[in-house]
Structure 1
Amino acid sequence: MNVLKLSILDQSPVSSGFTHSEALQQTIQLAQAADRLGYTRFWVSEHHNSAGLAGSSPEVLLSTLAARTSRIRLGSGGVLLPHYSAYKVAENFRMLEALYPGRIDLGIGRAPGGTPHTAKALRGVSADLFEGLERFPAQVSDLLRFLTDSVEPGHVFEGIRATPLVDGVPQVWLLGSTGQSGVYASQAGAAFCFAHFINGAGGQQAVRSYRKSFRPSALNVVPQATVCIYVLCAETDEEAERQAASFDLRILQVEKGEFAGVLPPEEALAYPYSEWDRTRVRDNRSRMIIGGPKRVKEQLLELAESYEVDEVMVVAGGYHMETRVRTCELLAEAFGLGIGIRL
């Protein structure tokens, strides 16, 4: 394997005692740190009607991040395409590509990003949610047509071009936590990111199947894949485990529909876990890598080898902003990122 590249997905988590505005400012600070440290790309997510996650509009947030950084690739992880017009998404990301050429990734997914009721508010109260999911492959095809100016004669959208007209094309990724998303990515000739932080099982097979079925396109002539996982790194294994209590509880509360914000480690350690809770916490560790630099580096390399990828994307966790930044700093040091970079 070549030198492992590292990237970051940030969900703009809202820690207890902080506001959504402060959470978004923390995302900006983390992106600036990633830019300085030599990470390959920095993505932001899309969630709706969530007290614990502040990022609802990746396109708007990306414009700010791009203006506050100078080198790193920036992208959506991801735009939830079933809610929107493929044409408008193409225009949004062509605008970003025009303003920040060669630095924009368009990651798209088909998850609702919230409750079914919230999804209806996004699409319109009369919208059929299942129809939206069924239309996803056609939406992906339309999106790629608009991005590459390849609407064929006789197509319903013949003569329509997404503006602004630019030479470059955002790098397109399909995101998912199942093999089906890999199928869509291979059919579209797009890159594929498997969300191991959502589903800790089956990802390796999904990526292998994606590569095997990949169809070259105007976007990519060869398949490109990465994997995304929760990571918390501290100076020692023991300190990482202590800080990870906030991480463990956050994921558990999301599963139970109780998540309102990340709690400090002290409160997380004092939480009244049931036996079922403790089982879920142990099981959820398959989606996380926790430890000091040596342990985390070894496990990230093992993960990359199992997926046969040369890039891993991390979701840095913890209650304190300093914990998330420190994770990124320790990983950059352990992997020798940013050598020679001058900002």
Structure 2
Amino acid sequence: MRLSVVDLGTVEPGSDEKQALAESVRFAQHAERLGYHRIWFAEHHANAMGASHHPELLIAAAGAQTSRIRVGSGAVLMNHYSPFKVAEMFKQLEAMFPGRVDLGMGRATAGPVIDLALQRDREHPAQADHAQQVAETVAWLYDAFPGDHPFATVKLMASVPEIPQTWLLGSSPNGSNLAAGLGIGYCFAGFINPQGAAPALRHYRKQFRTQGFGLSEPRAILAVNVTVGETAAEAARLAGSPKAYYARLYRGDVQTLVPTADEAARELTDSERDEPTAIVGDRWPRFVAGDPAQVRATLEQMAAESGADEIMIQNMLPDPATRRRSHELLAAAFDL
């Protein structure tokens, strides 16, 4: 089973976004050495927790400093952008790093103020049609507009035959229908909606229809928040960081950093601390944690139940060295 990673540009307490961005590039090199298949960069606007605001910039930086690992977006938030702009940008990235670029497309709100700021027309902001935007982006990349369509006269970088892989990212059943209907890859955010992951990925496989957009069969990724420790006790302590971060968000602290494990231990309630980090019955956890063997067993069960071809690892540990060590232990557990 393939393993990949998504990087948020996590800002360590006491550090800053400049250092976090430099660490993101170093981490891409580290992930490549460990044998991970791809690294995706997130898009989070005006968010203190992570410095990855525009994934295209980190894709270019990481691509230039690596040679094998695939580089991509997890995800470009299509509700903010022109499909032409997105398609052309990723076609150019593919020209720079042939055979290594992934265009992951999603949607999300950054809040009413930032959503408005990202619009060109502030008086009449666009009402985004997600399905149309994704379909149009794919049509630009594959030169798939009908002959009578006005866009059919324009070719994107006609001298570059390579096309980035296209993925739809989501956390609800709607995404599985759209990805399956377009015949493109699908990645489900299991750390957002763990109980919806297996049904959505199975539905995607069942409904998949090839449309000539690079795939003859379904291609599915399950994204999971994972913390691996040398021991189960150490992993449980470290997993307090993402648990406490989301607890802060739920309390309304939307500009918080990810707390250290020591900070998290002081903040978490007993119920938050004891939230399961492995599958219990038929309930999947929001946060997977444990020693290497425990985490491997959990991820293999998730892959088997969902039909995922690949697991995408999200890790929010704020200390870069601890975060790298977690990925090292996981790579060794899977013999990457």
TM-score, normalised relative to structure 2: 0.93
Contact 1:48–1:118, Cα closer than 8 Å, also in 2: yes
| Aligned counterparts of 1:280 and 1:154: Cα–Cα separation in 2 | 59
Per-residue deviation, 1:52: 1.2
Partner of 2:216: 221
CA displacement 1:22-60 (0-9 Å, x = unmatched): 111121121111100111110000010111111111111
Partner of 1:195: 189
* Correspondences of 1:23-34 after superposition (within 5 Å): 23-34=20-31
Unaligned runs of 5+ in 1: 338-343
| Aligned counterparts of 2:34 and 2:176: Cα–Cα separation in 1 | 30
Partner of 1:235: 230
Contact 2:219–2:309, Cα closer than 8 Å, also in 1: no
Structure 1 stretch displaced more, 186-195 or 242-251? 242-251
Partner of 1:282: 275
CA displacement 1:127-184 (0-9 Å, x = unmatched): 446x21xx11111121111101122211131201223641111000000000101111
Partner of 2:310: 311
| Aligned counterparts of 2:307 and 2:204: Cα–Cα separation in 1 | 12
CA displacement 1:2-31 (0-9 Å, x = unmatched): xx1100011111121110111111211211
1:18 pairs, out of 5, 15, 20, with 15
Contact 1:120–1:127, Cα closer than 8 Å, also in 2: no
CA displacement 1:68-121 (0-9 Å, x = unmatched): 111001110000111111011111000011110000000000222x11221110
| Aligned counterparts of 1:233 and 1:284: Cα–Cα separation in 2 | 11
Contact 1:94–1:164, Cα closer than 8 Å, also in 2: no
3-state SS of the aligned residue for 1:175?
strand
Name the CA shift for 1:279/1:321 in 2 (closer, same or farther; >3 Å).
Answer: closer
| Aligned counterparts of 2:286 and 2:158: Cα–Cα separation in 1 | 40
Percent of residue pairs bearing the same amino acid type = 37
Specify the code of the residue in structure 2 equivalent to 1:241: A
Specify the code of the residue in structure 1 equivalent to 2:188: F
Specify the code of the residue in structure 2 equivalent to 1:145: A
Partner of 2:55: 58
Per-residue deviation, 1:305: 0.8
Unaligned runs of 5+ in 2: 279-284
Name the CA shift for 1:169/1:38 in 2 (closer, same or farther; >3 Å).
Answer: same
Runs of 4+ in 1 over 6 A off after TM superposition: none
Structure 1 stretch displaced more, 90-99 or 209-218? 209-218
Partner of 1:341: none
Per-residue deviation, 1:281: 7.1
| Aligned counterparts of 1:291 and 1:280: Cα–Cα separation in 2 | 14
1:244 pairs, out of 234, 239, 245, with 239
3-state SS of the aligned residue for 2:152?
coil
2:105 pairs, out of 105, 108, 121, with 108
1:169 pairs, out of 142, 147, 163, with 163
Per-residue deviation, 1:280: 9.1
Contact 2:240–2:261, Cα closer than 8 Å, also in 1: yes
Per-residue deviation, 1:283: 7.2
- Number of residue pairs aligned between Structure 1 and Structure 2: 327
Specify the code of the residue in structure 2 equivalent to 1:306: E
Specify the code of the residue in structure 2 equivalent to 1:282: E
Contact 2:43–2:74, Cα closer than 8 Å, also in 1: yes
Partner of 1:340: none
Name the CA shift for 1:284/1:244 in 2 (closer, same or farther; >3 Å).
Answer: closer
| Residue 6, structure 1, aligned to residue 6, structure 2 | no
Contact 2:243–2:272, Cα closer than 8 Å, also in 1: no
Name the CA shift for 1:281/1:122 in 2 (closer, same or farther; >3 Å).
Answer: farther
Specify the code of the residue in structure 2 equivalent to 1:320: D
Partner of 2:135: 141
| Aligned counterparts of 2:250 and 2:276: Cα–Cα separation in 1 | 12
3-state SS of the aligned residue for 1:158?
helix
| Aligned counterparts of 2:101 and 2:250: Cα–Cα separation in 1 | 32
Contact 1:317–1:323, Cα closer than 8 Å, also in 2: no
Partner of 2:331: 332
| Aligned counterparts of 2:166 and 2:34: Cα–Cα separation in 1 | 24
